[in-house]
Structure 1
Amino acid sequence: MKQKSTVFDKIFDGGIYAVLIFLVVVTLYPLLYVLFASFSDAGQLIVHKGILWKPLGFSLEAYKSVIANPGIMIGYRNTLFIVIAGLSVNLVMTALGAYVLSRRNVLLNNGFMVFIIFTMFFHGGLIPMYLVVKGVGLLDSLWSTIIPFAISTFNLIIMRTAFMGIPESLEESAKIDGANHFTILFRIIIPLSMPVIAVMILYYAVDKWNGWFYASVFIKSRELYPLQLVLREILIANSTESMSAGASAGDRHQIGETIKYATIMVATVPILCIYPFVQRFFVKGVMVGSLKG
């Protein structure tokens, strides 16, 4: 029997909806502001103050300048390589590590987990990492942003927990049929863990796409800059002159503002497009990976 809502319940529900709407606005508005500003007329935008509810005029000049900039295209190429190669390395290494650590008959399994969890709280720091990267010959290479970060401890724990939730009877039946560990992992465990795999793809892809700090430390050649380093240079160093070279000094300053916003959109939209394809797996994957310790 459906219980009748009281006045207090309605007020409480209304308060919850109000808070959620406020959070949505606070979260979404910065992105909308950047979007509106990127399509705005540079002259109108530079004199505008306060909240921006729609594009001021309409202009695609900023996007034309961004697309015509070879640095943006080079950054895209390098970032796509980092995401594709890094994602492949991350998924393979994390799956292998999670499979071994999820087996109950592995010697010193709990001891290994203690050492792995230890790295979440204590690490050598940036200088020892730099020396290691330099010592193995990865300095000034795109692989310097991939190999040292092959496994995330947090993601490894999530995937291990998910693998532990798969019934042992499936593994035992496969062994009776002559399956080895690689067959069990790639033909039984992983197909049954696709929600968690989808979550790992999202976590690792976003991390690789947005990564800029270690790239700024390990990469010195401009032709190897990932997209986020190019974006950082444009935003922080105010380096938009090359994209507005045909304009006068005053116009360059105005166009430069819209170019910054257009560059942010160009660098942000692709990774946002991935989320709808994995969203249906997201909640289930996180919950499956958090049920058991």
Structure 2
Amino acid sequence: MTASTTAQDRPASTRPRPRGRLSDTAGPLEKAFKAVVLTVACALVIIPFLGIVSTSVAPADQVTNAGGFVLLPREVDLTAYRSILSGGVVSRALLISILVTGVGTALSLVLTAMLAWALSRRGTVGNRAMLLLVLVSLLFSPGMIPTYLVVRQFGLIDSLWALIIPTAVSAFNVIVVRAFFANLPEELIDAARIDGATEWQIFRRIALPLSRAVLAVVGLFYGVGYWNAFFNALLYINDAAKWPLQMVLRTYVVNGTEMGASEMGTVVEHAPQQTTIQMAILVISIVPIVIVYPFLQRHFAKGVLTGAVKG
């Protein structure tokens, strides 16, 4: 046995620790500090949301005594939800938002996938010119006034299509999906062509099934965008009966306009407080995205990173 020993022969206590692993070198104080910071960050997110939900279901007298913000209600009172979901402005706006989000997300996914597939195939006629056009639209916005003139020229003012068509295709999402398609194995596509598959069959039976992860993430981006959009409705929708939920949220929560019995659609025996109604509208506008997000979260790393980094 030689005098010099290798690193494997040394006792575990004397071996040098690998650098770059904070979990091995962090002391008790550092771990405690990280735990405190994480706890505070979670509290900053959870407490306001909990307060909104609690205030929306708290009795009117408790909301008044608490100054408009209740963290823990003494009892659950659903009068505010029954009032705004009984066929009034909020019920109609909720249905419009669901319709716009569903139709808009489906249309956006179809157009984005088809355009991205065409741009990912190098033999496509006008491939470079179309890709350059997509990149230019990503860097330079057309502006509010030209977009409004185009929407008016096509007769989409006061039409729900004005909330869908102007934002139907996102250049960023097209680039992400194109990068994913470009990284599909060429051997698989060549084998399908040898078997006699057309370009449409390759796209529908091979490319789309393999791209479920990236399409799920892009679909979430489109869905959240349609659900939260209010500026297009502010510009293009003059009829209050066609307002989406976010316009109602802006009118009765942000601007503080009081909602009367005609807007609620019914006359209740004990009218809920306006603060309770506002918090209930907030909850209704948040809950759908909160429900959908966990089901698509597992696709984020595979979908976006594969499409963006490898491309």
TM-score by length of 1: 0.89
Match of 1:15 in 2: 33
Task: Please tell me the residue identity of whatever aligns with 1:239.
Answer: E
Deviation per residue, 1:213-246 (Å, 9 max, x gap): 1011111112211111122221114232224985
- In 2: Cα distance, 1:50 partner to 1:228 partner: 22
Residues 86-125 of structure 1 correspond to what in structure 2 (within 5 A)? 86-106=104-124, 109-125=127-143
Larger radius of gyration: 2
Question: 1:74 and 2:92 equivalent?
Answer: yes
Match of 2:302 in 1: 284
- In 2: Cα distance, 1:135 partner to 1:81 partner: 24
Match of 2:154 in 1: 136
- In 1: Cα distance, 2:303 partner to 2:295 partner: 14
5+ residue gaps in structure 1?
none
User: 1:74, CA displacement in angstroms?
Assistant: 1.0
Match of 1:163 in 2: 181
User: 1:153, CA displacement in angstroms?
Assistant: 1.0
5+ residue gaps in structure 2?
1-11
Is this contact kept in 1: 2:117–2:178, CA < 8 A?
Answer: yes
- In 1: Cα distance, 2:32 partner to 2:240 partner: 53
Match of 1:275 in 2: 293
Task: Please tell me the residue identity of whatever aligns with 1:164.
Answer: A
Residues 188-267 of structure 1 correspond to what in structure 2 (within 5 A)? 188-235=206-253, 236-242=255-261, 243=264, 255-267=273-285
- In 1: Cα distance, 2:173 partner to 2:52 partner: 32
Is this contact kept in 2: 1:36–1:53, CA < 8 A?
Answer: yes
Match of 1:149 in 2: 167
User: 1:143, CA displacement in angstroms?
Assistant: 0.4
Structure with bigger helix share is: 1
Is this contact kept in 1: 2:81–2:277, CA < 8 A?
Answer: yes
1:244–1:83 Cα change, 3 Å:
closer
User: 1:182, CA displacement in angstroms?
Assistant: 1.3
- In 2: Cα distance, 1:159 partner to 1:211 partner: 23
- In 2: Cα distance, 1:102 partner to 1:265 partner: 41
**For structure 1, which segment, 101-110 or 226-235, has the greater mean C-alpha deviation from structure 2 after superposition?**
101-110
Is this contact kept in 2: 1:37–1:56, CA < 8 A?
Answer: no
- In 1: Cα distance, 2:209 partner to 2:267 partner: 55
Q: Name the Cα RMSD after superposition.
A: 2.6
Q: SS of the counterpart of 1:190?
A: helix
User: 1:110, CA displacement in angstroms?
Assistant: 4.2
Number of residue pairs matched?
A: 290
Tell me which of 49, 64, 67 is aligned to 1:46. 64
